[in-house]
Structure 1
Amino acid sequence: MKINIKKLDADAVLPTRGSSQAAGYDLYAKSSEDTVIPPHKTVMVGTGLAMEIPEGYFGAIFARSGLASKQGLRPANCVGVVDSDYRGEFMIALHNDTDEERVIAGKERIAQMVVMPYLSVEFEEVEELNETERGEGGFGSTGRK
């Protein structure tokens, strides 16, 4: 699969992946300047890129494991969704979960994108749903007693 990509900033870094088996493509901060993220705040960090995700797919934006576990920085919405018809700049809302100010260096890897298929469905309103053994059992209903 090929994805058309447009640099909106001449210095933007194209997505990369850490190995040939990596599912995620690293996204980079576009700015060559540092971005400060205050404690418990969210800052929008641009990538300087726009893409054409193919129809039937979406770009799932996930945290970079090292950035999240070592620096306490993650996408504010935990998992972002970039639809195939979006043509604007890929922006990452990075949230600082720590009590300390964090700094994103210019051109640092800030998130990863996994391109995933989705099913387009139609919802049909009905009076009753099919019965199951679980029924209406919610959180923890299938676990330990």
Structure 2
Amino acid sequence: MGNYTLKVKKINDDAILPNYAHEGDAGLDLYSVEELILHSGECKLVKTGIKIELPKNTEAQVRPRSGLALKHTITLLNTPGTIDEGYRGEVGVIMINHGKGDFKVEKGMKIAQLVVKPVWKVNVEEVIELTDSDRGEGGFGSTGLR
């Protein structure tokens, strides 16, 4: 793998640049620039105050943070959310509160992870038949529960 650069533009003075918490982490932490309350069962788009320019032939996936999920039952809708290479708008995070009580999102709080991945472009070809496989058409629990 080569060395790739994620270009980030702050559009809010309170924005924090995405960063890796530990050596070897797959995801960059994303931070809120807003303070708001997520009521039980509610979802909101939370702003990060940044715009990004991805390296060529990549996408960014916005993923939940396991600590928020375990400790507060907070996760993300549309997960993983996909940011396409050509998108230049503000990065937003769709958070949802599955807990029984309110959850306070604070300014500067780590709210999600951003994972940059390569994208393979494929040619689309219509065919009459597909090749057989061991699995065939089995899906949606076809391998059993154990």
Between the aligned partners of 1:109 and 1:4, the Cα distance in structure 2 is: 19
Between the aligned partners of 2:119 and 2:128, the Cα distance in structure 1 is: 27
Say what the alpha-carbon RMSD is for the aligned residues: 1.4
Runs of at least 5 residues in structure 1 that lack an aligned partner in the other structure: none
- The structural deviation recorded for 1:76 is 1.1
Tell me which stretches of 4 or more aligned residues in structure 1 moved more than 6 Å. Answer: none
Aligned to 1:9: 12
Secondary structure (helix, strand or coil) at the match of 2:70 reads: helix
Between the aligned partners of 1:2 and 1:78, the Cα distance in structure 2 is: 24
Following superposition of structure 1 onto structure 2, how do residues 1-145 of structure 1 map, counting pairs within 5 Å? 1-31=4-34, 34-143=35-144
- The structural deviation recorded for 1:122 is 2.0
**Amino acid corresponding to residue 15 of structure 1 in structure 2:** P
- The structural deviation recorded for 1:101 is 1.1
Equivalent residue pairs, number: 143
Select between 133-142 and 47-56 the one with higher mean Cα deviation. 133-142
**Amino acid corresponding to residue 9 of structure 2 in structure 1:** K
Secondary structure (helix, strand or coil) at the match of 2:71 reads: helix
Q: Percent identity?
A: 36
- The structural deviation recorded for 1:30 is 1.1
Runs of at least 5 residues in structure 2 that lack an aligned partner in the other structure: none
